[in-house]
Amino acid sequence: MKRPGYLLSFCLLIATLSITSAGQDVYIQYGKASFYGDKFQGRTTASGETYDHDKLTAAHLSLPFGTEVKVTNLSNNKTTIVRINDRGPFVEGRVIDLSKKAAQQLDFIPLGLVDVKVEVLGIKAGSSDQTTVQAPQQDTGKQEFYELLARRVYPAGFGVQIGSFKELANLMRITENLKDRYQNEVTVQVVIINRVKVYRIIIGAFQNRTDAERLVKKLNADYPDCFVVEFEKL
């Protein structure tokens, strides 16, 4: 039986632990870390901030914006503390995407990837995410409305995943014109990662991997971290 496109799956990122100590939850995660390329300098992150490679920031799939985490390079025990202000990384097996300055502090720029330990320290006071969890703010005058036409599907074969999002608003914005732009079906898979709902956007449904890989080349300019997925194994 084929799995539905919005199937609620229970997945774990690479070696993620949630430990209770003295009445508090300690979030520890192990996996691969990468860092932003220079082309991302000045671009807007998922939190609305502008990415600055000279600041200690990072992208994570599920931690709230404003969360401060301690990242340890397991090969040399060097550490840095970064603030989460973006979503990602969208490559299988990676758990955090660091700013260039953070990568420099961990001393893995020449390598590109490194095994790390990620420990949550807390949410920084005055962070951008705190405004999103407080009581609703006064209407700024800008409102967004979307028409929802969703149906349950049973995809098979191969598609191309372009991103994962925790915030439904970000999902709506990015999927608005995808089908018309790329002339392919758009599927949203819902998964649960560490008790957090994540929306994966997948374009296309191909019978063979070769066709999906052709789409990757087409999408690569807009979504450089996109990759082929096989629906039966999602």
- Per-residue pLDDT of 159-182, as tens digits, reads 998 887 776 766 676 776 677 777
Of 147 and 90, more confident = 90
Query: In this structure, is residue 59 part of a structural domain?
Result: yes
Q: What is the pLDDT of residue 130?
A: 37
* Mean pLDDT, rounded, of the chain: 76
Together in a domain, 18 and 123:
yes
Give the domain CATH number at 213: 3.30.70.1070
Evaluate if residue 149 carries a pLDDT over 70: no
Task: Give the C-alpha separation, 84 to 30, whole Å.
Answer: 16
pLDDT score recorded for residue 92: 72
Q: Is 105 part of a structural domain of the chain?
A: yes
Say if residue 114 is in the same domain as residue 171: no
Q: What angle do CA 149, 197, 96 make, to 5 degrees?
A: 120
Q: Is the pLDDT of residue 85 over 80?
A: yes
User: Domain residues for 190?
Assistant: 158-233
Q: What is the pLDDT, as a whole number, of residue 176?
A: 67
Average pLDDT in the 54-75 region? 92
- Same domain? For 186 and 118 the reply is no
Q: Looking at the structure, do residues 115 and 171 belong to the same domain, yes or no? A: no
pTM score: 0.50
The Cα 44–Cα 161 span in angstroms is 21
All residues at 6 or more sequence positions from 228 whose CB lies less than 8 Å from its CB, including other chains: 158, 159, 160, 161, 209, 212, 213, 216
Task: Give yes or no: residues 184 and 101 share one domain.
Answer: no
Say if residues 188 and 5 touch (Cβ distance below 8 Å). Answer: yes
Note whether residue 147 is domain-resident.
no
Last residue of a domain, one of 112, 128, 144: 128
Residue 135, in any domain of the structure: no
By DSSP bridging, strand 94-98 and strand 24-35 are: parallel
User: What are phi and psi for residue 71, nearest 5 degrees?
Assistant: -115, 125
Residue at token pair 């191969």: 158
Q: Read off the CATH number of the domain in which 113 is found.
A: 2.40.40.10
Any domain includes 152: no
Burial class (CB in 10 A: 0-12, 13-18, 19+), 83: buried
Instruction: Tell me the CB-side half-sphere exposure of residue 133, using CA atoms within 13 A.
Output: 11
145's tokens: 């409305």
Of residues 123 and 19, the one with the higher pLDDT is 123
Q: Is residue 167 assigned to a domain? A: yes
Last residue of a domain, one of 83, 110, 128: 128
Dist CA 80 CA 221 (whole Å): 31
Peptide bond into 155 cis (omega under 30): no
What's the token pair of residue 217?
Answer: 């080349």
Going 199 to 183 to 44 to 89, the CA torsion angle's sign is: positive
What is the structure's pLDDT at 139? 44
DSSP 8-state secondary structure symbol assigned to residue 136: P
Highest mean pLDDT among 5-9, 39-43, 126-130, 140-144: 39-43
Q: Does 5 score more than 50 pLDDT? A: no
The verdict on 162 and 115 lying in the same domain is no
| 148 falls within a domain | no
Q: Are 17 and 86 in the same domain? A: yes
H or E segment and range at residue 205:
strand 196-206
- Looking at the structure of the chain, the number of domains it has is 2
Shared-domain flag, residues 61 and 99: yes
Alpha-carbon torsion, ordered 196, 203, 209, 217, to 10 deg: -110
136: in domain: no
- The whole-number average pLDDT for the span 123-129 is 54
